[in-house]
Amino acid sequence: MAGEQDLLSTEIVKRGIERSGPDAGSPTFSVRVRRRLPDLVQSVNLKYVKLGYHYLINHGIYLATVPVLVLVFTAQVGSLSREELWNRFCDAARYDLATLLASFGIFVFTLTVYFMSRPRPIYLIDFACYKPSDDLKVTKEQFIEMARQSEKFDEESLKFQKRILDASGIGDETYVPKSIMSKENCSTMKEGREEAAMVIFGALDELFEKTRIRAKDVGILVVNCSIFNPTPSLSAMIINHYKMRGNILSFNLGGMGCSAGIISLDLARDMLQANPNNFAVVVSTEMVGYNWYPGRDASMLIPNCFFRMGCSAVLLSNRRRDFPRAKYRLEHIVRTHKGADDRSFRCVYQEEDERRLKGIKVSRDLMEIGGDALKTNITTLGPLVLPVSEQLLFFMTLIKRHLLGGAAKGKEGSSSSSRSSSHASNPNSKPYIPDYKLAFEHFCMHAASKTVLDEIQRNLELSDKNMEASRMTLHRFGNTSSSSIWYELAYLEAKERINRGDRVWQLAFGSGFKCNSAVWRSIRRIKKTASNPWFHCLDRYPVPF
């Protein structure tokens, strides 16, 4: 119970003067209770650290053994003079030619197997983020007024949405489809297809123009959209519109939440590893109008306030000749899924309310569940990206805490409350928080909400500069679901902060509950272009948040 209470924070809200009743003329107040994101490293599970190290060893065995073999070979050869080395080679060639040829053949065969079995490098050639037209731009006040004019909400629901918007971190230049202004039902297949065509074709047109490739050159297509999944699929709609080739490998991912963009990347990477000399396009989007909830359930009204129009299109390649023109190389993808837990599974859940109106219900436990998934993901990612010094400090502190914890459990006659209080008061029991700023130069955290970003910054001890791209994306474009991490990367490029060799961490989380990370390394210095979605408003950012 003590640990549960530590996650709660209270806030006194002034409600004004009581107008009627026995307390008329007196000021009234209410207490608002909020649940904070749990401390991500206070309960790190050792098995996730082991998982990260296991992944690292499996992929780093060649890097560990090849230098040793080279060192041994160099030591043997270095002890001989040039004449002795030549004489031994001539003697071997003269008397044991078969052995020499066999050894050479084994050497060539080993090198061939090594290079053929090594994973192909995956390059990001370029990406595009759709910027809607200005007639779809709305302020927060206009948003509430549109909701009022649609006559779908009562006054209490409008006040609730206004409170959420005021605390959301969203600015006055986000985009919504015109269909939500209508008094009629906007969650129709027709409205969904029109919005999908607008954002998806807009992003792909820009991508093909920037990269100078034809749609027929694309061999792999992966599309993710969580809520809107028509038949034929969105991937089929793209193939039909651009008249892509008949043997294209197409995939359509639905219902996977805001982290589906990285899941799509993982699928595209696997397909590129199995299909050499190919291009892959990954499209990430969400339909705002089709997901619009016209009811009065407060937990279902929250998505209305946060989600905004957006779409990203990414071009990947496994061709080594594309290295000179590529922007980034994919280093790691780490995926975490907590769907086996019932609370995690239902924390973001699509269902009907009591009036049979469809919407997405957001649980009060979302912050706690998201924190647990995030903790697991970054613990697994740590051994892959952190410097050795940080890994040793973190691992030693973790082992120490587990040993001390085991010893404490063995003591008789001590209550759980006394153990927890002594543990909290002991400064040596505090876990070491790895400095992820040593592993990455840039951070693209999913722009879910201001509260979530604040808690991520606090727990990972990131600076305001590290969180700037995420906060400014939330302010300018809102929560664009799975495409938000690409608007954040576009912000960093527009600011010309990405230099050659820089590492970028993209992290997203969504329903399921899932938390996924992608790590990129910059191949060259990135300069801003006129096609960047931030180009025309960059001089106004960053803004106070």
Helix runs in 386-528, H state only: 388-410, 416-425, 450-460, 464-477, 484-494
How does 108-142 read in b/e, with b if 16+ C-beta sit within 10 Å? eeeeeeeeeeeebbbbbbbbbbbbbeeeeebebee
416, two tokens: 């759980």
- In whole angstroms, give the CA distance from residue 264 to residue 271: 11
Please tell me which residue in 186, 258, 347, 515 is annotated as part of the active site: 258
Identify whether the C-beta of residue 182 lies closer than 8 Å to the C-beta of residue 147.
no
- Catalytic residue check, 241: no
Task: Show the CA angle centred on residue 369, arms to residues 229 and 487, nearest 5°.
Answer: 55
Q: Is-contact 223 251, C-beta < 8 A?
A: yes
> Within its chain, how far is the Cα of 361 from the centroid?
22
Which one-letter amino acid corresponds to residue 17?
Answer: I
Are 485 and 444 contacting, i.e. CB atoms less than 8 angstroms apart? yes
Please give the Cα distance from 177 to 330 (Å, whole number). 34
Which residues, at least 6 apart from 150, have a Cβ–Cβ distance to it below 8 Å? 180, 181, 182, 183, 294
d(CA 143, CA 140): 5
Tokens for 115? Answer: 């290079």
536 has catalytic annotation: no
Are the CB atoms for 281 and 312 separated by under 8 Å? no
Give the distance from CA 71 to its chain's centroid. 41
Question: Structure tokens of 379?
Answer: 């613990």
Catalytic residue among 278, 459, 475, 532: 475
423 given a catalytic annotation? no
Length of the chain: 545
* Catalytic residue selected from 252, 291, 305, 442: 442
Per the annotation, the verdict on 377 as an active-site residue is no
332 is catalytic: no
28: helix, coil or strand?
strand
* Residue 442 falls in the annotated catalytic set: yes
- Residues 6 or more apart in contact with residue 373 via CB below 8 angstroms: 336, 338, 344, 509, 513, 514, 515
Q: What is the helix (H) or strand (E) element at residue 455, kind and residue range?
A: helix 450-460
- 446, 459, 515, 532: the catalytic one is 446
Residue from 229, 241, 337, 423 carrying the catalytic annotation: 337
Annotated active-site residue in 479, 515, 516, 532: 479
Percentages helix, strand, coil for the chain, rounded to the nearest 5?
50, 20, 30
- Residues marked active site are found at 258, 337, 442, 446, 475, 479
